[in-house]
Amino acid sequence: MNENAKGLKIERIREILDRERAKSISYEQDFSRKNLKKAAVLVPFVCDNNQWSLLFTRRSDNLKNHQGQVSFPGGGMEQVDETIVDTAYREAFEEIGLSKSEIQYVGLMPDFVTISDYLVTPVVSWVNWPVKLQISNHEVSKVFTIPINFLNNKKNWEERIYTHPSGIHGSVIFYNLFDGELLWGISAKITIDLLRMVDGIVK
């Protein structure tokens, strides 16, 4: 793959991700992760309508948890997965039919710990868009993209105090609606953190 695939500076982004992940692991080296369940999400850059965007899914209303929420493809690590990257690839294929051959690996972001005791690793990638997808209607109701220019605009998001059904209070990022879709929560946090890391590199 060309380092500057359609203007996306892959090697530069990879260097930043490697540095930030190493920094976070060093900072959290005393943090116990033994009881956390491993999970991964695929964070795909796509060039849609001549502008860089991120690819998202809307979870099916039939799911037990997080019904109808906007998210990245992903899920829990299983025994068949040799690495956390394999988890992201497998989940992307199962959910939206995005095959491993269509995904170009870029790097790993720092892990996120969720209130449900998951250790989530965002796997940043690049997909030569458009590709033919096969959506699993049981898991996903829609696949769509949101332009980086919209996601990067501070006028389009805010942090609010949110009370989880479990009773936990915290600051949560909410985006303005984009084409009727609401990006918020951990998916919004991953988005904001990634764009801060690559500020000025991806536009």
pLDDT of residue 155: 97
pLDDT digit string, tens, across residues 40-64: 999 999 999 989 999 999 987 575 5
Residue 30 has pLDDT above 90, yes or no: no
Q: Is the peptide bond before 130 cis (omega within 30 degrees of 0)?
A: yes
Kindly state the tokens that stand for 32: 């116990």
- Spatial CA neighbour of 69 closest among 150, 187, 159: 187
pLDDT of residue 67: 54
Contact criterion met (CB below 8 Å) for 79 and 85: no
pLDDT digit string, tens, across residues 84-130: 999 999 999 999 999 999 999 999 999 998 877 889 999 999 999 99
pTM for the model stands at: 0.90
pLDDT of residue 1: 45
Kindly state the tokens that stand for 138: 């049981």
pLDDT of residue 139: 83
pLDDT of residue 184: 93
- Spatial CA neighbour of 147 closest among 14, 53, 79: 53
pLDDT tier, 8 (very low <50, low <70, confident <90, very high otherwise): confident
pLDDT digit string, tens, across residues 151-201: 999 999 999 877 655 666 678 899 999 999 999 999 999 999 999 999 888
pLDDT of residue 7: 75
